[in-house]
Structure 1
Amino acid sequence: MNFDYIRKFVDFSIQNMTSPEFDSFYVSKSEIVDNLLVDESRPEKGDMIPWQPSDSLIKDSEIEALESEIKHPLPNSFKQYLKYKNFYELAPISNVWMFTPLVPKEWKRVMLENVFNGWPKEYLFNKGMIPFANYSDWGILCFDTNTKDKNGEYQIIRWDHENEEEYEIFANDFADLMKAIVQNYEEGIRNGEVIFY
């Protein structure tokens, strides 16, 4: 499986974090879980701390602990995403907004909160759906664990919280989703207008 698009998704999302009007590489002191991502080369701004992305510090044991709690293995492509880089935030390059922050200790709590407390379990977790990202402001994307293929990948389902019993297939798997987002983004850059996927 080619993981280049997963890395590009993260890299493009990080590159778009800073604009002339706003520097997104700051996070509230209350959100800092440790000093691993703190950017000590830049000044603090009030109660805001500068941060910088780093190579992933997430351990296999953390991933295994999450899998044990949700009772399903994560897809290999999503594990590649977890093990690429850590960050507090990503700039949106599509309508897919990954759960953040993705930092040691905190990412697992965020995932579990969304799996077990963020959405009605009877429509998602109890049906084998594992949330991993928001879709714009009206739905979420889930791994459909009922569709596991020979490579350990799941179909991606888009769920609209206003149509609770409807499940739309959104991508064949996580790697295909990342590829579609990156290709759409790159085409938008070439054409001078990015229309979110």
Structure 2
Amino acid sequence: MNEVIKDYIDKGIAFVEKHKEYLMYGDDIAKDMIYEFDYSSTKNKSSKMELEQENASGELLELLKSTDKVWKATNSSVTDSQIIEIEEYFNLTFPNSYKEYLKYKHFYTIFLNSDIRLFSKPTDKWKEILVEANEEMREVLLDKGYFAIGYYSDYGAVCFDFRNNKEEASIVFITYEDLQIELLSENFTHLLEQALELKEPTLKELKPWKKKMYGIE
């Protein structure tokens, strides 16, 4: 097992677990990934928090509601044959590092760089998420040699650059608005290494004027 990949995923899961009431919930969680959460523990929590990280975009986070479901990470059931099926469908070959990433644990959104969110890997829909995202952007990304593996903040896609047919494709982000391309990393493993080197994101209470704006006591 690639230790960088294991370290990134384990630390990413540990980070969101510390703030699960803001970062680990949704309304469509796979049955085998539902975590039995004590909703009474949120009684004294702020309804909104700010996610901050140096040199990254900020984000307003919402406290989960009693109707939301909290997820837990599980061991991966991804097989080599499933990965080959995707590769054959798109007529490409993933770097070995990304294959290892796909085969290590199921989870929803985790991150160490708050701007880069790789696609969720739930037990029931991980293939569907990967395929649908790339079909939706086929004309602007896939047909030009790029394969999306995540999002960059709210304005771009994180992609493999397969144009040079490299065994370890570089990673770029492409803006949605004007399709500008920027190199993020020389390969997938290095992208995760860069995230591991960053200071962990923090959750902070809103400033008084923001609390007033949102009607928070």
Instruction: Please give the TM-score of this superposition, normalised by the length of structure 2.
Output: 0.71
Amino acid at match of 1:8: D
In structure 2, the partner of 1:156 is 171
SS at match of 2:177: coil
The C-alpha deviation readout for 1:13-37, integer Å capped at 9, x for no partner, is 2112145682544332xx234x332
In structure 2, the partner of 1:110 is 129
Matches of residues 35-46 of structure 1 in structure 2 within 5 Å? Answer: 35-39=31-35, 42=37, 46=66
Q: CA RMSD in A?
A: 2.5
Matches of residues 57-96 of structure 1 in structure 2 within 5 Å? Answer: 57-96=77-116
1:178 partnered with 2:197: no
- Pick closer, same or farther for the CA change 1:146–1:57 going to 2, 3 Å: same
Amino acid at match of 2:6: R
8 A contact 1:12–1:93 mirrored in 2: no
TM-aligned CA deviation for residue 87 of structure 1: 0.9
SS at match of 2:16: coil
The structure with the largest alpha-carbon Rg is 2
8 A contact 1:57–1:103 mirrored in 2: no
Amino acid at match of 1:37: M
Find the partner of 2:117 among 78, 86, 97: 97
**Number of aligned positions between the proteins:** 177
% of aligned pairs identical?
26
In structure 1, the partner of 2:56 is none
The C-alpha deviation readout for 1:60-100, integer Å capped at 9, x for no partner, is 22211111111111111111111111012325533111111
- Alignment partners' CA distance in 1, 2:101 and 2:113: 16
SS at match of 2:160: strand
SS at match of 1:73: coil
In structure 1, the partner of 2:4 is 5
8 A contact 1:13–1:93 mirrored in 2: no
TM-aligned CA deviation for residue 12 of structure 1: 1.8
Q: Where in structure 1 do 4 or more consecutive aligned residues deviate above 6 Å? A: none
In structure 2, the partner of 1:168 is 182
TM-aligned CA deviation for residue 154 of structure 1: 0.6
